[in-house]
Structure 1
Amino acid sequence: MSLTSSTTGGASSLDDAPVSSFHRRIMVVAMGGPFCDGYLLGVMGVALGLITPALALDTLWTGLTAASVLVGVFIGGAVFGPITDRVGRHLMYVLNLATFVVFSALQFFVTEAWQLLVLRLLIGIAIGADYPIASALTTELVPRRMRGPALSGLVLAWWVGYGVSYWVGWALTGLGDDSWRWMLASGTVPALIFLFMRAGIPESPRWLASRGRMDEAKAVVRKHLGQEVSDEELLAEGRQEKRGGSGLGNLVEIFKRGYTVPVVFCSVFWICQVAPAFAVRSFHVASDIGLPELLYSLRDDVRLQRYVEQQLGRLVQHDARHGSDLLSTLREYLVAAGNKSIAAKHVGLSRQAFYQRLRTIERLLGNDLESGAHRTQLHVAVTALDVLGGAGGTVRPASL
């Protein structure tokens, strides 16, 4: 549908209006919602491995925590489309981001698994609600020539937010035992930024026309698009059946009107896209508990601290006394799986100098570094030291 100008002489419709700074602003602001959607979903992929031991989550609760936000997305998408039609795009636009801000911040303070589950469910509902909100306001406020790029931009923004969440999550891992709290709460920052950017975005004149609010619709068109429209033209634009009931009822209506095949096709397409993208990824990170995660869960066990001291104590003390960095040399050697040439290249030493360092390490530890069993023991000890002492193992355990 199009809002046509009331000026004579074939003035172009709003659908064909020239692109303005207002339209570009709408595109950028609309992309903020999907950006936050992707960010809030993606950051859990980094945080969940730390949340599991911190909140003592078993397999059931780990799965529920990861899945809760996805359940919320389904509910939000089904229910808030028709609600947006009833109360307006602008109000839901602002409330949606405000919900991101509040619930993201509250995640920092959770102490029980059920609290995190409830918050993730509510965040998921807000994410699901944002899909119809952002797309509706975008398509109703931008000219026809921009709608394709604008809607594509919403998808792109989602993936950018998803990718940024992983970079931020990994950057925050060095904050200690509570780093997962900062990861989850970090979603407050982009949500606040886009919430302020959404201030001043008007209600859709198409929605106002559909509700009979002609003066308000004409005022929006006049102020932001510099055009005049008549009551007759607004009434023509507003003649559409007002939806009511729940979101599920409207889904049934879609099938009744003969859209079954397109709906099934689009649904299968999106399932194939999003399942490996973030559903499987969340559970993969949660279930792929490697050596660092296992040792992290044992970080308070005095036996682990004693093991590290037994295996690496002399080496750490030697580095402290002489200002050397033999521990880093050993770490690179173990990472290279005993390949001396590769390890020497990584530390920037000649092979002769690197071999000399290895002989010093063997003398201090009393281990044969050519032995696979000894390398395995040392690898566990070095990884445990990293867990106990912080990122990179730069802080020594107290027992050392």
Structure 2
Amino acid sequence: MAALPDTDTGGSVTDERGRRRLRTKLMLATQVGQGIDGYILGGIGAAMPAITADLHMSDWTAGLIGASALAGIFLGGPLFGWFADRFGRRIVFLTDMMIFLLGSVAQFFVDNAWQLFVIRLVMGIAIGGEYAIGAPLLSEYAPRHNRGRLLASLEVSWYVGFMLAFAVGYALSGVDGGWRWTLGSSTLIALVCVALRGGIPESARWLLSKGRRAEAEQLIRRYGMDVDVDTELADGERRNSLRLLFTRRHLRSTVFASTFWAALVLPYFAIGTFSPQVLQALGLDDALAGSLASNALAVVGVAAGCLLVERIGRRKLLIPPFWITAAALALIGFWPTAPIAVVVACFLVFAFLNAASSALTAVYPLEVFPTAIRTTGVGFATAMSRVGAAIGTFLLPVALTHLGVGPTMLIGAAVLAAGGLLSHFLAPETAGLELSHAARAATETNSR
């Protein structure tokens, strides 16, 4: 195997500084991009009561607004993912954030629900591109020994962004027109992200997947990357990357990455977007404060997931929490009149463990697809996860009104249980493997 190490002690001090600078810049640019997704979804959840009143929206319209960014991610993930596999990582890494920046500014000027729907749909398309390119690009520069922890830390950024936006919305909830500032404040974060992304080089692994060995090896030596060159060259593809997802070789990875992600995020997005209404229906007096506490615990949970992802492996971090969180929501579903302490405890268990497992949404999809179709695979899995999340977010306010809180929680529990069952049979163990070897391990499992 022609593997180049992730350290190069023969380089100059200047070279080493350049490597560190690139790794730090890439990590920050990706972390901020991931945090932006959480920010726009957390912000809409906190601002939804004020938006509903100010724009005179029905439950159905509120559901559409809540789901609009998720629907945009469904469109943007596969589109930008295919583009990044076909034309390279760099251009998508900058373009998607420029689109998001324009959408953030436009939110200040909406005066009806449909304008807001269209703007957030476009922002969602940009975020879909972020999922398809941000974590994959970082994974292609990450060393094997801490790749899982580094990628999982992106989810910490997502939850921090979600909690920060919710806190901003909570602080501005009593201000006239405060929801505009809650939504539009993402402009500042987007500006920082665009500035960080200037000068990021192309992925050496992507260059290898296209047969451009000389260019790739120059980058590998310059930045001290851990890459099995021969494996990357051997696994390169010239065929349509979207079609390859559904071949026998890759179908199991496609199904797994899509379904486990959807099962994790459907209950979280649905409940998180309308958490004040859910907690109020369960009898909690200060529903906004309860939602903020739940989001804060989710940040702690995903941080715990980052610490555990390399220690206990991927499967143990994914499967048991699925069953425990399903039991927590089922208890609320069967006993919606339970004492407030029981309700709060169940929601906190759900928030903590769901977030811990969600660290894997930035790890598993990157590891089960080879470089040639990685961003397409991640983009497609992102889209499928957001289909479920969008459906849940759209239908939750309607379900609360027509079914009640108990049956609504039972539906969420059933989704989590299905995720646990599917993951038991489909989830590979990829901890400790070089990135191209992790993808091969998943592919070899798929071929059997």
Q: Normalising by structure 1, report the TM-score.
A: 0.60
SS in 2 for 1:141: coil
Q: C-alpha displacement at 1:239, in angstroms?
A: 6.1
2:350 maps to none
1:152 maps to 152
Rate the CA distance shift 1:3–1:181 in 2: closer, same or farther, 3 A. Answer: farther
1:244 maps to 240
Rate the CA distance shift 1:26–1:51 in 2: closer, same or farther, 3 A. Answer: same
Contact 1:254 1:260 in 2 (8 A): yes
Following the alignment from structure 1 to structure 2, what is the Cα–Cα distance between the partners of residues 107 and 137? 29
Contact 2:211 2:236 in 1 (8 A): no
Following the alignment from structure 1 to structure 2, what is the Cα–Cα distance between the partners of residues 2 and 40? 43
1:210 maps to 209
1:197 maps to 196
Following the alignment from structure 1 to structure 2, what is the Cα–Cα distance between the partners of residues 108 and 196? 22
Contact 1:81 1:132 in 2 (8 A): yes
2:430 maps to none
1:272 aligns with 2:263: yes
Q: C-alpha displacement at 1:3, in angstroms?
A: 5.4
Rate the CA distance shift 1:235–1:254 in 2: closer, same or farther, 3 A. Answer: closer
Runs of 4 or more consecutive aligned structure 1 residues displaced over 6 Å after TM superposition: 286-293
Kindly, what percent of the aligned residue pairs are identical? 38
1:59 maps to 59
RMSD, aligned α-carbons: 3.7
Rate the CA distance shift 1:292–1:218 in 2: closer, same or farther, 3 A. Answer: closer
Q: Normalising by structure 2, report the TM-score.
A: 0.54
Rate the CA distance shift 1:158–1:242 in 2: closer, same or farther, 3 A. Answer: farther
2:400 maps to none
SS in 1 for 2:198: coil
Q: C-alpha displacement at 1:20, in angstroms?
A: 3.9
Following the alignment from structure 2 to structure 1, what is the Cα–Cα distance between the partners of residues 202 and 252? 33
Contact 1:52 1:58 in 2 (8 A): yes
Contact 2:31 2:157 in 1 (8 A): yes
Contact 1:99 1:126 in 2 (8 A): yes
Contact 2:271 2:278 in 1 (8 A): no
Q: Match for 1:66: what amino acid?
A: G
1:102 aligns with 2:102: yes
Q: C-alpha displacement at 1:285, in angstroms?
A: 4.4
1:184 aligns with 2:183: yes
Contact 2:77 2:128 in 1 (8 A): yes
Tell me which moved more, 19-28 or 234-243. Answer: 234-243
2:134 maps to 134
Q: Match for 1:241: what amino acid?
A: E
Following the alignment from structure 1 to structure 2, what is the Cα–Cα distance between the partners of residues 79 and 116? 22
SS in 2 for 1:57: coil
Following the alignment from structure 1 to structure 2, what is the Cα–Cα distance between the partners of residues 277 and 116? 23
1:254 maps to 245
Q: C-alpha displacement at 1:268, in angstroms?
A: 3.5
Q: C-alpha displacement at 1:68, in angstroms?
A: 1.2
Q: C-alpha displacement at 1:29, in angstroms?
A: 2.1
Larger radius of gyration: 1
> Any gaps of 5 or more consecutive residues in structure 2?
6-10, 12-18, 288-448
Q: C-alpha displacement at 1:51, in angstroms?
A: 0.9
Q: C-alpha displacement at 1:109, in angstroms?
A: 0.3
Q: C-alpha displacement at 1:121, in angstroms?
A: 0.8
Greater relative contact order, per chain length (Cα 8 Å cut-off, separation 6+)? 2
**1:229-273 CA-partner distances (Å, limit 9, x unpaired):** 9xxx6896386103537xxx43xx333225444544443332332
1:125 aligns with 2:125: yes
Following the alignment from structure 1 to structure 2, what is the Cα–Cα distance between the partners of residues 218 and 268? 36
Rate the CA distance shift 1:118–1:287 in 2: closer, same or farther, 3 A. Answer: farther
SS in 2 for 1:175: coil
**1:276-326 CA-partner distances (Å, limit 9, x unpaired):** 222232245468899999xxxxxxxxxxxxxxxxxxxxxxxxxxxxxxxxx
2:223 maps to 225
SS in 1 for 2:245: helix
**1:158-203 CA-partner distances (Å, limit 9, x unpaired):** 1111111111212223432x11111110111111112211222111
1:68 aligns with 2:64: no
Rate the CA distance shift 1:237–1:259 in 2: closer, same or farther, 3 A. Answer: closer
Following the alignment from structure 2 to structure 1, what is the Cα–Cα distance between the partners of residues 100 and 119? 10
SS in 2 for 1:256: coil
Q: Match for 1:267: what amino acid?
A: S
Rate the CA distance shift 1:287–1:64 in 2: closer, same or farther, 3 A. Answer: farther
Following the alignment from structure 1 to structure 2, what is the Cα–Cα distance between the partners of residues 140 and 81? 15
1:293-308 alignment runs, 5 A limit:
none
Q: C-alpha displacement at 1:85, in angstroms?
A: 0.9
1:47 aligns with 2:43: no
Contact 2:209 2:236 in 1 (8 A): yes
Contact 2:39 2:186 in 1 (8 A): yes
Contact 1:100 1:126 in 2 (8 A): yes
Rate the CA distance shift 1:272–1:209 in 2: closer, same or farther, 3 A. Answer: closer
